[in-house]
Structure 1
């Protein structure tokens, strides 16, 4: 199914993040019910205990249409507040990375407000990964399962329905996709959802977004002119071969909830920004953080190129000179190396690297200044640059 997909449409709450992980949906719904009652409106019996804020908004359009704007505004404010602590879905950005690497466009199609989606994406500067954001409009009756949001995304991406796939965690997502002629993948992230999504007619069902990322990455991969290294979601690291065996990655007995048990990988995760250095043995490692992006190295320029988004490798390579010229460079420290180093996923141990998961970095011994930049040399391409200068 994903092999023929040119674009991937993602529902927001579920496939991308848990919107109400910190500020719970039932508490938001309770506040909305109180707001409605405060305006002198009696709630219908079927909504007196409604814990889904979106269903409460949908119901308001039927029994108190004069309050729709008021309830919608209150819900939007609650969503914007909630996304400040929203938990990113494990594997969500594996999907994003796979789409970017294989030239597929991405869109979010959601019943949540556009303001909340944009606020969440702005937390880590993620908006640039998505070609279109379709959030809740002013008419609750046109939320999914109406096909309108899906059709709007198709129009924004200029793609036919048969070239798209939608990923959602509710029957309304499946209904909306099929009504628009789009294949639908159900994301069953809670008990009981597999059956509900199957009954709704999902064309496929997954329980892990990482599985979808793997399927996308395995299809339509363009041929590479350069060697690119990827991580499984964390930082990449450049370790001099003189201390390579001392880099131990993440221990087998680490505690997912305790960063202090994550070993060298945990230390790399704590490096702020796009790049930085840390001690390893009697040497230093260079950490490439912030984005789990495909990365290559141009030795003639001592330049690490991180492919954030772009239609093809050819496009990214062609735009590098313009990106270097127009970038707003930032100095972020220094890195000292005794010579040749290796670039790899910081979660791996330096003496256990597979050939295909590392890249030899030929660099002369010395201390280098590190400068970084994010550049968009074209509207459809974004590149992070990390350069070593003397």
Structure 2
């Protein structure tokens, strides 16, 4: 690695970072409202991520190093992998972040790393990068650190003081899979680290007896990532784990990353990657759990296999499996049932609830309020409209499922 240029390191370590999907800004406010400092929350750049309010932000997404002492079977950077290695110094990451910002390429940093020497040594360097940016250079942009659960609790505590978001990747949905495919990692250690971040965040919101508020700790919360298709877990198991993480650890996001076969892979890994549509359906199901009031059993219980239907989104699949609940009288139905109508989003439902206080809603009103009536019309009734013959599940499934050639392209 001696004599390797900074440009070459950047090419290697930015490419290696693409496997980590848990990279998204949170839309959090700037860390400091006082004048001065650098960093912004609007513009264009390298790695695009989207905030909950739909705003696009750009992040420099890199590994500090792709050297690693661990031998996780699914990881291209495992110690036994034959890949070109590179390593940034603390100063190089700081310099790259500042220079990319000054050129208006980025608005923040997503930093991950392989484990070199020890978890504590690696985590200490990552904390130094964030601390140097914040304190020595007044950087007010977004910082997301992918932390190392095996690192000491004190380092995790310090990381949260300088990072907007922390992520601790659970990697696989089942404990047995982690022990089999990542023998140096312990699922209990991962959950303990997640729990510490969660409790420290909660404590940072409370004022002391003097009324003084503690320093902000990871104000954008924590996230995690699960690899889909590297083990035998079905979608029901994946979503069950995600639901438990949201409930138990207050996670902001669970990210799903379709397994991609790697060079010189272990024989215990699958030879082909799962369809990307599976990853997409998991994100849709995740959204239903977080914002639409669905339970895991409702979503994944539609199919006997425990896997989501690849031909249609999980909300529509649930509605077709529960035809007895429809058609729904839009002018009378409660919010929790309106949210289950295919073609109705959360904003549309809120508009419907507001509008029907003042007038009786009709078919054309629903379209104006943002409903996707191509889907919704088979599941709702309003004065002047009822589905009538549009109730047969088999017919609706054939109508809504994409053609085979289109599904293959997706």
TM-score normalized with structure 2 length:
0.27
* Higher RCO (C-alpha 8 Å, min separation 6): 1
TM-score normalized with structure 1 length:
0.28
